[in-house]
Each structure stands twice: as C-alpha cells, then as structure tokens.
Amino acid sequence: MNFWKLFVAKNDRISRNIYNNISNNDTLIKEFNYGGKKIAIILNRDKDIDLYELEKLCDTVGWVRRPLKKVKTAIRNSFLIIYLSYYKNKQKKLIAFARATSDNTFNATIWDVVVHPEFQRKGLGKILINEIIKELRYSDINTITLFADPQVLAFYKSLGFISDPDGIKGMFWYPN
C-alpha cells in the first residue's frame, strides 16, 4: 500500500509543478509531453508580449526579420493578440502567436500566424485560429480574412476558410 501512495504522491507533485507559474491572465489550454516532461500550454491575450521572444519564434520558421519598433506598433494597433506559451525554469517560452486587425464593426484580418516547428501538427495552430475566430465573432465581426502561404492553404481550408469567395481577388500596392 505504501508503494502506491508514493506513486500517487509523486504524480501529484508533477502535476502541481506545471501549474505553479500560471498567472491569472493565463488560460490553460492543454497539457503536453515535451522532451520527456509534462508541460502546461497556456493561452494569453496580453499585448505586452516579449518582442525578443516573438522575434526568436519567427526566426524558427524562417520569417524575414522586421524592425522591433514596427512590430511593437503593429501589436499595439492590433484588435486582438493571442499567443500560446509554456513555462521553462520560471520563464515563459513563446510557441505560437497570431494577431488580428479590424475596423471594429464588419471586417477583421488575421496576421502573423506562427507556430514553433517543434509544436506544429499537434493541434495548437487550430486552437489559436479557433480562439481568434471565437473572439472576433464575440465582437460581432462576420467577415474574417487572412493571408496564407501556399503550403498552409489546406490547414486553413480545414478550419473553414475558402479561397477567393465570389471571385473576389485580393490586390496589392507596393512602392517602387
């Protein structure tokens, strides 16, 4: 009997440890086994995100670097920021991010969706996009658009996005 009590007590300690750092602003999404350890994936909407962590996350997927001052302005002016992270040695580690801009009434566009390669194909991108859609719909925004690279079109289609509805084509203007 003592053997089982020791086993259960050990598992309780492990479970409590992964939640110790979660703050009131964090929402637990799911538990993951990562690198042989159990981690708690948390969702946050705080615009006070660590820009250096975001830059490191974007580096992992090969995005072109953008000036941090402009990234900070983009985040500050976004309608919604959502990111996923976990705690490692009491430090928050960013593993997924997305933001949306909006006219606050009719339309919103989702931007900068990124998931760390080690966490891709585990359902976190779906959680991120579904949460953004839920928040936008809660704000009574019905038209949600996004820009996607060709290699991720199937992912967005699986979440209900369609390409070029009603034959509308996006157009772009770039300075010469």
Q: Which residues are catalytic?
A: 156
| Cβ(111)–Cβ(99) below 8 Å | yes
Region for residue 167 given its phi and psi (left: phi exceeds 0; alpha: psi -120 to 50; beta: otherwise): left
43 Rama sector, left if φ>0, alpha if ψ -120 to 50, beta otherwise: beta
C-beta neighbour count of 167 within 10 angstroms: 5
Determine the Cα–Cα distance for residues 173 and 24; give it in Å rounded to an integer.
43
CB 146 within 8 A of CB 108: no
